[in-house]
Amino acid sequence: MTETADTQPGWFSSDELESVRARMPVLYVQAVPVRVDESGSVTHVGLLMRADPDGSFNRSVVSGRVLYHERVRDALLRHLEKDLGPVALPRIPSSPQPFTVAEYFPTPGVTPFHDPRQHAVAMAYVVPVSGDCQPRQDALDLVWFTPEEATSPQVRAEMPGGQGVLVRQALAYVGHAP
């Protein structure tokens, strides 16, 4: 087992995770980080820049697995801290409600969401953050876009697997219909 698997109950080794992904859907949380003004209106959307194993770069929202026996809210907080840093100051209600549930299939075209590794089900949330965001782990950068910029064809082209659709849905949910 890896060090992470030994110290984090609920983590799988790489081989175990590959085996699970081949047999059943995996539960994820996704968070679209936003900045809001004093009236609560979304002014900016935060998108991460990541490098793929093939060396290409893409933009994405905060995303990660829910561990066995982990509350959804705790998973959201863990992944937001992992990707945005410990002082991002996310505001997650005590009982968060997703704006959508996205189903990612390994076969393209089943839904707008595609993940060649697995069938995954992701509960997606819009999360206001007010602190200083410093990307960590595999996130190389975080760029704040206006809602119009975040839904532009240029930015959507940088978001694989349907994440551009997810950002559009998030903004429609908060009143920024594209």
Copy the structure tokens of residue 92: 């997650």
* 3 lies in some domain: no
Q: Which residue type is seen at 149?
A: E
Q: What are residue 48's DSSP bridge partners?
A: 60, 142
* 7 lies in some domain: no
Copy the structure tokens of residue 17: 């995770």
- Express each pLDDT in 50-104 by its tens digit: 988 788 899 999 999 999 899 999 999 999 999 999 999 999 989 999 999 999 9
Domain count, the chain: 1
* 8 lies in some domain: no
- Tell me the torsion sign for CA atoms 109, 121, 58, 152: positive
Copy the structure tokens of residue 107: 């076969």
* 5 lies in some domain: no
Range of the domain at 71: 16-174
Among 13-17, 46-50, 94-98, 124-128, the range scoring the smallest mean pLDDT is: 13-17
* 20 lies in some domain: yes
Q: What is the pLDDT of residue 176?
A: 85
Domain holding 53: CATH number? 3.90.79.10
Q: What is the pLDDT of residue 4?
A: 40
* 11 lies in some domain: no
Q: What is the pTM of this model?
A: 0.87
User: 145 — phi, psi (to 5°)?
Assistant: -110, 150
Among 3-17, 66-80, 117-131, 161-175, the range scoring the smallest mean pLDDT is: 3-17
* 31 lies in some domain: yes
Q: What is the pLDDT of residue 47?
A: 97
End-to-end CA distance of the chain: 46
* 151 lies in some domain: yes
Asked if pLDDT for residue 137 goes beyond 80, the answer is no
